Amino acid sequence: MATVLSANILDPKPASVVATGDTTTVGQTTGHVVSLGADSINCWRITRENGTSRFYSWGDPSDRVIQAAFDLANRALNFGENKTCLLSLPTPHLIIAQLIPSQDRRECVTVSFPCELTELCEDASSDRLQAVELLARSFHEPDDLHEQQYSPSGPVSRQGSDRASTNEPHEEPEFLSWVALTQQISGKLNLELKRHLGLTKIYLGGLICTILLGLMPFPHRIGCGVVCEPVVRRYVAVPFDARLANSDVFAGQQVTKGQRLATLDGGELLTQLAGLRAQSAQAEQRLLAALHQGDHSKAELERLESEQLAHEIELLESRQRQLDICSPIDGIVITGDLERAQGTPLTTGEILFEIASLERFVAEIAIDEADIGHVEESMEVSVSLDSAPGNIDASKISRIHLRNEIRKNESVYIAESSLENTDNKLRPGMNGSATIHAGYRPLGWILFHRPIEVVRHWIGW
């Protein structure tokens, strides 16, 4: 291991080391320590960054010995008291950490003695402790020494790293005041913060960037399902009780205004009309006979009966003209496939066909209950139908229904938006998707407002 100041501590004038009296004192005291069997001497100090650095080293100890000396120096400097430990190696080592006398007690010297367990008698240990104490007194704080920090992987120069590693003390004092405990904890926290200063800056920068990104306004878009429905619809019903003779159209067929959709059976009407006409002729003959006889009262009764028969004949003739059911508008047949219902008796008012105009359509947008509070009329909406995914129609919300509906087992509110059918490709019932542009919101709110609402609903807040 490379030494920092001098390769031979026995030199009476080691480089950059000043004795309290003269340089001879350091050499003599060190020589006495070496004569007692010391194989390494290291001087440690606490830097301004609360790291432990080594500013003097002599000897060539093993890595485990220098690591143990480093740990012992840490404990001695942290607790402000001398420390001693016995290191179990193939050759046991007695390591002594002695504080160097100073006002701030921020420096100490560690000396390792290789020895056998049988040599650790009271006298031998006492002599070594006294020698190390004298050695510590012979040093005082160097002014401009080139410090060297130590880490378990080897010495590190102060210029290369300002964050010296230090281990937490393995011992706790028996009595420690709250003030001292607070200072010790704050010191350790500052030390750990400085040790991981690089990672701390990265984490802090990432946190700040995340917060700023979460506060940035982004477009709030709400996705919904869409069903395309026509604006104009007409229902074709049965004008009177009759039987269906035949059906000329089917569902999905385009029709024009006035085109025949179905025909009703008029056989019964013809029979009733023939009977009424015969009764009307008889009433006319009775009327003429009463006038010829001069019976005016009977003639008046026959006249009233003749007028009633005439009205009934007119009604049947009107129904006869309605046997052909025609389309009221141009459009497409939505419902009314009656091909297999020929001969079926029909009742007055029964719906036969539903005709929808293809000129104007409306997009019925299903908005979830959780999003209806963020949607207003006149908001812009983009509609894309599944039949033409590349075509997107931009429009605005023209109306929002006041009452919710159940669609696909979900409670939704329906909003309407007009669609143009310029190319006649829209059909009633087409499905698609819509995106409502609901203004700008912070990105964090857009990402997390749904989970927050779920949690609030779950806890009842």
Q: Do residues 55 and 134 share a domain?
A: yes
For the ranges 192-201, 249-258, 396-405, the lowest mean pLDDT is seen at: 192-201
Place of tokens 């496939």: 337
Tell me what pLDDT residue 169 has: 41
pLDDT of residue 3: 30
292 φ, ψ (degrees, to nearest 5): -65, -35
- 138-160 pLDDT, tens digit per residue, is 876 444 333 444 444 444 333 33
In the prediction, which pLDDT does 124 show? 64
Do residues 150 and 68 share a domain? yes
Residue 165: predicted pLDDT: 38
- Looking at residue 173, its amino acid is P
What does the pLDDT read at residue 275? 84
- The HSE-up count of residue 129 (CA atoms within 13 Å, CB side) is 11
The CATH number for 336's domain is 2.40.50.100
Tokens of 434: 């819509």
Q: What is the CATH number of the domain that holds 75?
A: 3.30.450
On whether both 318 and 333 belong to a single domain, the answer is no
pLDDT at position 306 is: 83
Q: Which residues contact 326 (CB under 8 A, 6 or more apart)?
A: 258, 259, 260, 261
Question: Is 176 contained in some domain?
Answer: no
Same domain, 317 and 328: no
CATH number at residue 388: 2.40.30.170
Q: Residues 248, 280: one domain?
A: no
* The pLDDT value given to residue 151: 42
**pLDDT, average across residues 327-341:** 81
Q: Which of 339, 356, 373 is the endpoint of a domain?
A: 356
User: Which has the closest alpha carbon to 69: 9, 176, 80, 58?
Assistant: 58
pLDDT reported for residue 426: 83
For residues 310 and 381, state if they share a domain.
no
The predicted structure's pLDDT at residue 13: 33
pLDDT at 414: 92
195: in domain: no
Q: Does pLDDT of 314 surpass 90?
A: no
H/E segment holding residue 71? helix 63-79
Judge whether residue 413 has pLDDT over 90: yes
Question: Is the pLDDT higher at 61 or at 379?
Answer: 379
Residue 347 located in a structural domain: yes
Half-sphere exposure (Cβ direction) of 161: Cα atoms closer than 13 Å? 19
Residues 274 and 290 reside in one and the same domain? yes
Cα 232 from Cα 235, distance rounded (Å): 10
Burial 338-364 (b: 16+ CB within 10 A, else e): beeeeeeebeeeeebbbbbbbbebbbb
The arithmetic mean of pLDDT across residues 287-308, rounded, is: 82
Most confident of 62-66, 175-179, 192-196: 62-66
- Per-residue pLDDT, 367: 92
Which tens digit of pLDDT belongs to each residue from 109-147? 999 988 876 656 656 678 888 888 888 888 764 443 334
Which residue segment(s) compose the domain that 369 sits in?
A: 359-459
Question: Which tens digits make up the pLDDT trace of 265-276?
Answer: 877 888 888 888
Find the range with the poorest average confidence among 46-50, 404-408, 453-457. Answer: 46-50
* Matching residue, tokens 């709250």: 178
Q: Is residue 37 part of a domain?
A: yes
Query: Are residues 416 and 316 part of one domain?
Result: no
Residue from 100, 112, 108 nearest 60 by CA:
112
Counting every residue written for the chain, the total comes to: 461
Strands of 260-264's sheet in order across: 324-326, 260-264, 242-247, 345-346
Work out the average pLDDT over 164-188: 58
Could you give the CA distance from residue 337 to residue 247 in angstroms, rounded to a whole number?
Answer: 8
Kindly state whether residues 70 and 116 are assigned to the same domain.
Answer: yes
3 state SS of 14? coil
Average pLDDT over residues 293-302: 80
Give the end of a domain, one of 335, 356, 377.
Answer: 356
Q: What is the mean pLDDT of the chain?
A: 77
Return d(Cα 144, Cα 57) in angstroms, integer: 16
Residues 422-452: tens digit of each pLDDT: 777 888 888 999 999 988 889 888 888 888 8
Question: Is the domain of 344 the same as that of 364?
Answer: no
**291 occurs within a structural domain:** yes
How far apart CA 330 and CA 162 sit, in angstroms, is: 87
In a domain, 206, yes or no: no
SS3 120: coil
**Mean pLDDT throughout 380-406?**
84
Distance CA 268, CA 272 (A): 6
Task: Establish if 103 belongs to a structural domain.
Answer: yes
Higher pLDDT, 169 or 206: 206
Residues 301 and 421 in one domain: no
Q: Do 53 and 103 belong together in one domain?
A: yes
Domain's final residue, options 111, 137, 166: 166
Of the ranges 93-97, 117-121, 179-183, 274-278, which one carries the lowest mean pLDDT score?
Answer: 117-121
Query: According to the model, what pLDDT value does residue 121 have?
Result: 61
**Domains: count for the chain:** 4
Residue 208 domain flag? no
Say what the pLDDT of residue 2 is: 32
What number of other Cβ atoms are within 10 A of residue 115's Cβ? Answer: 18
The DSSP element (H or E) to which 207 belongs, if any, is helix 197-215
256 close to 248: Cβ distance less than 8 angstroms? no
